[in-house]
Amino acid sequence: MENLKNEVLHKIENSLDKFLDSDVNFILKIGNYILSSGGKRIRPLLTVGFAKLLKEKNIDNLIPLAIALEYLHTASLLHDDVVDGADTRRGKPSSNNVFGNEATVLTGDYMYATALNIFSTYGNIDMIRVVSDAVKKMSEGQLLELKKIADFEVKEEEYFKIIDGKTAVLFGACCYVGANYAKADEKLSNLAYDYGIKIGRAFQIVDDILDYISSEDKLGKPVCNDIKEGKITYPLICIRDELSNEEKEFIKKVIKTINPDTEDILKVRDIVLERQGHKKAFEKAKEYVRKAIQNLEEFPQNIYCKELKKLAEYIVEREV
């Protein structure tokens, strides 16, 4: 992955605020605040990676599209932090905590609109179709997650619909845009999209695992936050049927409580970890990564193919 990062990451970082050209300085202040908070830039790297994989040499007009996809991701973070009432993001106060909910939501809207405007200038109708569908599903995923708060019986298929919206569909769109830019045929474009869906699912499962096993210092946000917010994620789903009635009733009580006691939150965490829920979820994430890498067998076997394999493997090796 280092070759790809060294080749294009500086181009993305140097142009990241280029399209935030509003006359309203407050929008620029909030946008730059979150964009400068860091981030892995996985989504733009996926976009450029697939174009390079398909031997596209001229990526000048792809960089704006890659940045637009990072704007979509950033906009979703701004909205998520408001919905979740988050206090921190990437180890610093969240935008809503600094600038307020109203300004944060409106800046997210501005970034969504800016991203779609970039696609209308540099993209094509197929890209716009896939990206706009991703934005729609992102909203659906967030709404479904809200509906399922404190619902102990969340079905596995509902969980995957939620994480597809939260994470996977945008990963898929990034890969599709890169392949489409390189004039891939329908088969390869769809394989690229599916690769993104699979690693996006793996990414979110690992995120949910880290919420159970990591530390606040590493994550840059509180751990066990999903339990506190009443969210049932994959580590718990994996072991739910193994729980005693007493354990089930205890967890139901905790997730339905507003601001539950830290002791109770940690007890839920311990129940999940003792039953190896995190390890079972991790096996599912690794399965998605294996299947994503299989998709790459249909593409040219060059250095960028190796980079995308490494990126997929990184998804399940990361600690943040």
221 pLDDT exceeds 80?
Answer: no
Q: For residues 295 and 199, what is the distance between their CA atoms, to the nearest angstrom?
A: 11
Query: Residue 320: which pLDDT band, with cuts at 50, 70 and 90?
Result: low
Query: Residue 42: which pLDDT band, with cuts at 50, 70 and 90?
Result: very high
> How far apart are the two ends of the chain, measured CA to CA in Å?
17
Domain count for the chain: 1
Predicted local distance difference test score (pLDDT) of residue 73: 96
Predicted local distance difference test score (pLDDT) of residue 87: 86
Token reading at 314: 């990184």
Find the mean pLDDT for residues 179-184: 98
Residues 224-251: tens digit of each pLDDT: 999 999 999 999 999 999 999 999 999 9
> Count of H helices and E strands in the chain?
17, 2
In the chain, % of residues over pLDDT 90: 87
Could you tell me how far CA 201 lies from the centroid of its own chain?
Answer: 9
217 pLDDT exceeds 70?
Answer: yes
Query: Residue 214: which pLDDT band, with cuts at 50, 70 and 90?
Result: confident
Which CATH number characterizes residue 225's domain? 1.10.600.10
Lowest-pLDDT range of 3-7, 47-51, 156-160, 236-240: 3-7
Quick check: 46 and 175 in contact, CB under 8 A? Answer: yes
Backbone dihedral region of 22: left (phi > 0), alpha (psi from -120 to 50 degrees) or beta?
A: beta
In the chain, % of residues over pLDDT 70: 99
Paired sense of beta strands 88-89 and 92-93, if any? antiparallel
Q: Which residues of 80-112 are buried (b: 16+ CB within 10 A; e: fewer)?
A: bbbbbebebbeebebbbbebeeebbbbbbebbb
| Spatial CA neighbour of 131 closest among 51, 70, 205, 80 | 70
Q: For residues 184 and 169, what is the distance between their CA atoms, to the nearest angstrom?
A: 19
What are phi and psi for residue 92, nearest 5 degrees?
-135, 165
Q: Please, what is the Cα angle at 149 between 144 and 151, to 5 degrees?
A: 100
Lowest-pLDDT range of 13-27, 135-149, 225-239: 13-27
Averaged pLDDT of the chain: 95
Predicted local distance difference test score (pLDDT) of residue 220: 72
Q: Please, what is the Cα angle at 1 between 295 and 72, to 5 degrees?
A: 75
Residues 245-297: tens digit of each pLDDT: 999 999 999 999 999 999 999 999 999 999 999 999 999 999 999 999 999 99
- Within 8 A by CB and 6+ apart from 25, the residues are none
204 pLDDT exceeds 80?
Answer: yes
- Residue with the larger pLDDT of the pair 94 and 37: 94
Q: Between the CA of residue 165 and those of 49, 65, 157, 207, 315, what are the distances in Å? A: 22, 20, 12, 14, 18
Lowest-pLDDT range of 81-85, 142-146, 169-173, 250-254: 81-85
Q: Between the CA of residue 212 and those of 86, 223, 224, what are the distances in Å? A: 17, 7, 5
**Domain limits at 70?**
2-317
150 pLDDT exceeds 80?
Answer: yes
